[in-house]
Amino acid sequence: MAERYDPVATEQKWQQRWAESGIYKFHPIPQAPKHYALTMLPYPSGNLHIGHWYAMSPSDTRARYMRMRGYDVFFPMGFDAFGLPAENAAIKRNIHPRQWTYANIERMRQQLKAMGMMIDWDQEVITCDPEYYRWNQWFFIQFFKRGLAYRTYAPVDWCPSCNTTLAREQVVGEERRCERCGTPVIKKDLDQWLFRITAYAEELLDFSKIEWPERIITMQRNWIGRSEGASVIFTTESGDPIEVFTTRPDTLWGATFLVLAPEHPLVDKVTSDAQRAVVEAYKQQAARESEIERLSTEKEKTGVWTGGYAINPATNQRVPIWIADYVLMSYGTGAIMGVPGHDQRDFEFARAYNLPIVVVVQPEGQTLDPATMSEAWPGEGTMVNSGPLNGLPAGKGEGQSVKAAIRWLEQQGKGRAAVTYRLRDWLISRQRYWGTPIPIIYCPQCGTLPVPEEQLPVTLPDDVDFVPTGQSPLKLHPTWRFTTCPQCGGQAERDTDTMDTFVDSSWYQYRYLSPHYTEGPFDPAIGQHWLPVDQYTGGAEHAVMHLLYTRFWTKVMRDLGLVDFDEPMVRLFNQGIILGEDNEKMSKSRGNVVDPDDLVARYGADAVRTFLMFIGPWDQGGPWNSRGMEGTVRFVNRCWNIVTEQPRPSSTPGDAEALRRITHRTIKKVGDDLERFAFNTAIAALMEFVNELYRARETTLYGSDAWHAAIRTLVLLLAPFTPHLAEELWERIGEPYSVHQQPWPQYDETLLAEQQVELAVQINGKLRDRITVAADASEEYIRQLALSSDKVQAALNGKTVAKTVVVPGKLVNIVVR
């Protein structure tokens, strides 16, 4: 009786052996060309779910493959361990967030080990460890010294349920809800720390040094939102300049009013006493609306006149200054020139409030009349009513109106070319407990000072009441915030906010190289060899937060002299999402959650890994399928059996050359597929190969050189996918430990060509047809093909076939009686 494969025992055996023999040990100096493979680190929520498996096991397969390709591969793992859920869970269970977090980490680390990944756990990074967040604080201070961290009192997005501020990226959807809890976000005025990511806006638009999915690049490009145009200076009657940003400076001669955002700092000054009450009321109302509501083109345009006027620098005419909610303080300069002839929103506004409309672009073959126009003309045409621009074609090209307008503005000193970005600075202050304390001291004498670097880390105290009140919990601690001023030694206070956890994940890839290094965020000698990350993998949901922040962070690190490259991750691959069997997002309430622990206990990690990779293209994700899971289990067992079982001796002749060809074709196919993350087709090729091996086993090929070579190749090709099974089989075929230290098999080009042969098809010796088949096609296949030929069928005319003789490479003879 053949021995059955016992995945659970086998997996434990090898996981232990791998750990003892240290085959995944990180080499500070790579011993071969380096390959830094990184997968996004998990949040320690308490349980590894199938989504983690879907993100990590294919990454591990790819990393293992690269190692067999001859690279020294670093594939580290850690935990993104600060953040709100720890506090919420801790409040619910009445335990400390630290305790909750570290218990979860412990559990998840075990689950990750059970997955059979090639992780060197000595390189692990836990972002809530003081030895980690110390460097968040250190970076903060470097940013501060360079003017890249600054504090302002400003209206910020505030989640009333999480009781904290949010970065703009964390406010999602048209309804502007909190990304975490879905509560509608409100505005609140607070003193907040921001990182000046906008200083890098232009450079962040340069994607030429990275190979990232087009989708992510587009999302980042749109998020940064670059607009080219001009800033134009209008002057109020009291002499204050009002700068507007416009993409159409050529329409300046048609600007018949100005509109300020209700929050614009000049509103109070330009407002006349007669208008003050309505202006105040309007400001109040606008403050309650969301940005999306304010920008909506559907919405009726509203606004009020301030009672003030400014001078249009081109026409020298007085234009009224209005405020309206469709102008946002957070974009451009927070003020616009109203050009109702050519901007639809301005047109609607002018019609609603009876403001004059002037046409400055006449379209070809039409004469627009402001009195009868029903909408603005944003298109092409010839400039009219525009002094020096008259007669020019309207457009952005050379010799066209926009360039001419900018030149005119610059000559007159009334404006200049300008670029505006949608990107805002990154707000990092959080009024929560479980995060990195901001290393700043406020001294009544000396002002705002960074904590001296030798005093880092500023540790997070344990004895804090962290139940959210809207106040920073650290502020409520009886003593923590009191300190002495590093400059004058007098009484001073610490900043009591903590940092956004996206700070932690902005640079963790550097820390993995030397997680306990004390002289800097990472050991530069090791960084020299290993950076940057060669291959990053993770979810596409991080397109505009994490993936933008880490690019920004690396550029700052470069400017600080810490690294000598511009981009943190050269290549990026985004996996899809694994859905429940019902094709819906997995969720407890739907009851469609698949628990990897159960599956591993039943089928082993290798089968689960393989199934996840076989389910479909990795970037597309797909629904769970229990039948498919069983299919994978069968495949694992078939691999086991083909290597370990001894068949009965056979005298059927086998084709050694054909076996060699399929072996080499499989090497090439699996390798090519792994290069492009096509795990599913790679596994399909392996399945075909195993089928072929089952056929070959029933012939004299069993036990031949070609057989042994094919089996050995199979085990090597399985190694990245089913690391435990492959290791066990490798031992069983008498090869030395470890299969994971073997080179990837090479294929022989000359064996790849799929040779075609033409066969004559005879009936009782008489030629009836010719068929073309692969040179190594099986006899059964050739027989089927010959019998299904139309000509053969016609000639047979219902007669019974006595037998069919296949002469390989030559002919098929069908004998009828």
Residues in touch with ligand ANZ (CB under 6 A): 227, 245-248, 251, 261, 326-328, 331-332, 334, 336-337, 339, 342-343, 378, 420
488 binds, among ligand ANZ, Zn ion, none (CB under 5 to 8 A by kind): Zn ion
> What amino acid is encoded at 14 in this protein?
W
Distance, CA of 720 to CA of 57 (rounded, Å): 10
Tokens representing 30 are 């790579």
Of 128 and 232, which CB lies nearer to ligand ANZ in the complex structure? 232
Q: Which is nearer to ligand ANZ, 53 or 326 (CB)?
A: 326
- What is the bridge-based pairing of β-strands 578-579 and 622-623? parallel
Give the pair of three-digit tokens for residue 428.
């990092």
Q: For residue 735, what are the contacts with CB-CB under 8 A and spacing of at least 6?
A: 712, 715, 742
Q: Which is nearer to ligand ANZ, 246 or 498 (CB)?
A: 246
Closest contact distance (angstroms) between CB of 358 and ligand ANZ is 12
Least gap, CB of 259 to ligand ANZ (angstroms): 8
**Of 235 and 487, CB closest to Zn ion:** 487
Query: Out of Zn ion, ligand ANZ, none, which partner does residue 483 contact, by CB within 5 to 8 A per kind?
Result: none
Among residues 312, 334, 315, 332, the alpha carbon closest in space to that of 323 is found at 334
DSSP structure string for 590-653: TT----HHHHHHHH-HHHHHHHHHHSS-TTT-EE--HHHHHHHHHHHHHHHHHHH--PPP--S-
Q: How far apart are the first and last CA of the chain?
A: 45
Cα distance between residue 360 and residue 377, in whole Å? 10
> Measured between alpha carbons, how far is residue 23 from residues 18, 28, 78, 597 in Å?
6, 14, 19, 25
- By beta-carbon proximity to ligand ANZ, the closer residue of 359 and 440 is 359
CB of 458 to Zn ion, least distance (A): 17
We find the least distance from the C-beta atom of residue 227 to ligand ANZ, in angstroms, to be 3
Query: Which partner, ligand ANZ, Zn ion, none, binds residue 245 by CB below 5 to 8 Å per kind?
Result: ligand ANZ
- Taking the complex as a whole, the smallest distance from the CB of residue 170 to ligand ANZ amounts, in Å, to 22
Q: Measured from the CB atom, is 225 or 447 closer to Zn ion? A: 447
485 binds, among Zn ion, ligand ANZ, none (CB under 5 to 8 A by kind): Zn ion
Q: Which is nearer to ligand ANZ, 401 or 663 (CB)?
A: 401
Cα 331 to Cα 291, 403, 413, 511, 531, distances in angstroms: 11, 23, 23, 36, 37
Minimum Å gap between C-beta 225 and ligand ANZ is: 7
HSE-CB for 423 with a 13 A CA cutoff: 30
The listed partner (ligand ANZ, Zn ion, none) that binds 43, CB under 5 to 8 Å by sort, is none
Q: Which residue's CB is nearer to ligand ANZ, number 302 or number 641?
A: 302
User: What residue 456 binds from Zn ion, ligand ANZ, none (CB within 5 to 8 A, per partner kind)?
Assistant: none
CA atoms within a 13 Å half-sphere pointing along the CA-CB vector of 594: 24
Query: Cβ 217 to ligand ANZ, closest distance in Å?
Result: 20
339's tokens: 């050009």
- 637: exposed, middle or buried (Cβ count in 10 Å: 0-12, 13-18, 19+): middle
Question: Of these partners, Zn ion, ligand ANZ, none, which one is at the site of residue 446 (CB under 5 to 8 Å by kind)?
Answer: Zn ion
Q: How far apart are CA 132 and CA 460, in angstroms?
A: 12
State the binding partner of 307 from Zn ion, ligand ANZ, none, CB within 5 to 8 A by kind: none
Which lies closer to ligand ANZ via its Cβ, residue 336 or residue 449? Answer: 336
Q: Among Zn ion, ligand ANZ, none, what binds residue 339 when CB lies within 5 to 8 Å by partner kind?
A: ligand ANZ
The minimum distance between CB 214 and ligand ANZ, in angstroms, equals: 22
Q: How far is the CB of 292 from Zn ion (least distance, A)?
A: 44
**250 and 405 Cβ atoms separated by less than 8 Å:** yes
Choose the one of ligand ANZ, Zn ion, none that binds residue 301, judging by a C-beta under 5 to 8 angstroms depending on kind: none
Bin 417: left if φ > 0, else alpha if -120 < ψ < 50, else beta.
beta
DSSP lists the bridge partners of residue 494 as 441
Q: Which does 550 bind (CB under 5 to 8 A by kind): Zn ion, ligand ANZ, none?
A: none
Is the CB of residue 194 less than 8 Å from the CB of residue 149?
Answer: yes
Residues in the chain: 817
Please say which residue, 228 or 675, places its beta carbon nearer to ligand ANZ. Answer: 228
Is residue 785 packed enough to be buried (19+ CB in 10 Å), middle (13-18) or exposed (0-12)? middle
Of Zn ion, ligand ANZ, none, which one does residue 327 interact with (CB within 5 to 8 Å by kind)?
ligand ANZ
Instruction: Note the residues at the interface with Zn ion (CB under 5 A).
Output: 443, 445-446, 485, 487-488
227 binds, among ligand ANZ, Zn ion, none (CB under 5 to 8 A by kind): ligand ANZ
Shortest Å distance, C-beta 235 to ligand ANZ: 18
Cβ(233)–Cβ(415) under 8 Å? yes
Query: Residue 561 burial by CB count (10 A; 0-12/13-18/19+): exposed, middle or buried?
Result: exposed
As a three-state string, the secondary structure of 131-177 is: HHHHHHHHHHHHHHHCCCEEEEEEEEEEECCCCEECCHHHEECCCCE
CB of 23 to ligand ANZ, least distance (A): 55
| Residue 462, helix vs strand vs coil | coil
Residue 117 CB, nearest approach to ligand ANZ (Å)? 46
Tell me the one-letter amino acid at 527. G
Q: Closer CB to Zn ion, residue 339 or residue 443?
A: 443
- Closer to ligand ANZ by CB, 243 or 779: give it: 243
CA 771 vs CA 143, 783, 786, 789, 790: distances in Å: 74, 11, 7, 8, 11
In the block, tokens 């027989």 appear at 783
Distance of closest approach, residue 326 Cβ to ligand ANZ, in angstroms: 6
Please identify, using beta-carbon distances, which residue of 314 and 443 lies nearer to Zn ion: 443
| Phi and psi torsions of 228, nearest 5° | -100, 140
Q: How far is CA 444 from the centre of its chain?
A: 44
Q: For Zn ion, which is the closer residue by CB, 310 or 485?
A: 485
445 binds, among Zn ion, ligand ANZ, none (CB under 5 to 8 A by kind): Zn ion
Rg for the chain (alpha carbons), in Å? 35
Q: Could you say which of Zn ion, ligand ANZ, none residue 97 binds, taking C-beta under 5 to 8 angstroms by partner kind? A: none
Residue closer to ligand ANZ by CB (options 44, 254) is 254
Residue 144 Cβ vs Zn ion, minimum distance, rounded to whole Å: 16
Judged by CB, which is closer to ligand ANZ: 242, or 261? 261
Residue closer to Zn ion, measured from CB, 445 or 741 = 445
Give least dist CB 442 to Zn ion, A: 9
Phi, psi of 323 (to 5 degrees): -120, 145
Residue 192 C-beta: closest distance to Zn ion, Å: 22
Handedness of CA 724, 730, 735, 740 (dihedral sign): negative
Contact 811, 760 (CB under 8 A): yes
Min CB(374)–ligand ANZ separation in Å: 16
- Report how far Cα 653 is from the mean position of its chain's Cα atoms: 54
